[in-house]
Amino acid sequence: MDGEAIRKRMLESYGIRVEPHMSDYVARRLKQAGDALSSFQVIGGDARTGIPVRTMVDPVQLTQQRD
């Protein structure tokens, strides 16, 4: 997944907007451990309010294909 795809998935799945540097971090985490990766924290802004939030991201949910 590239940065743009990660930002789109974070918005759709978790309702948060992430900056490009955070999407790069997520991409590195996904590559780093592969299937052994457990949930990890991501910091972004709530899509409706803009308030900073920290949420746990499930890599399986983030990377699964949407129809």
H/E run at residue 7? helix 3-14
Q: Produce one character per residue of 46-56: b if its CB has 16 or more CB atoms within 10 Å, e if not.
A: eeeeeeebeee
Q: What is the pLDDT of residue 38?
A: 80
The domain in which residue 40 lies consists of 3-63
Q: What is the pLDDT of residue 30?
A: 85
The segments of the chain whose pLDDT lies below 70 read 33-35, 65-67
Domain of residue 29, CATH code: 3.90.640.10
Q: What is the pLDDT of residue 18?
A: 95
Q: What is the pLDDT of residue 65?
A: 60
Contact 18/7 with Cβ under 8 angstroms? yes
Q: Indicate whether this model's pTM tops 0.85.
A: no
The whole-angstrom separation of Cα 3 and Cα 24 is 6
Domain count within the chain = 1
% the chain with pLDDT above 90: 57
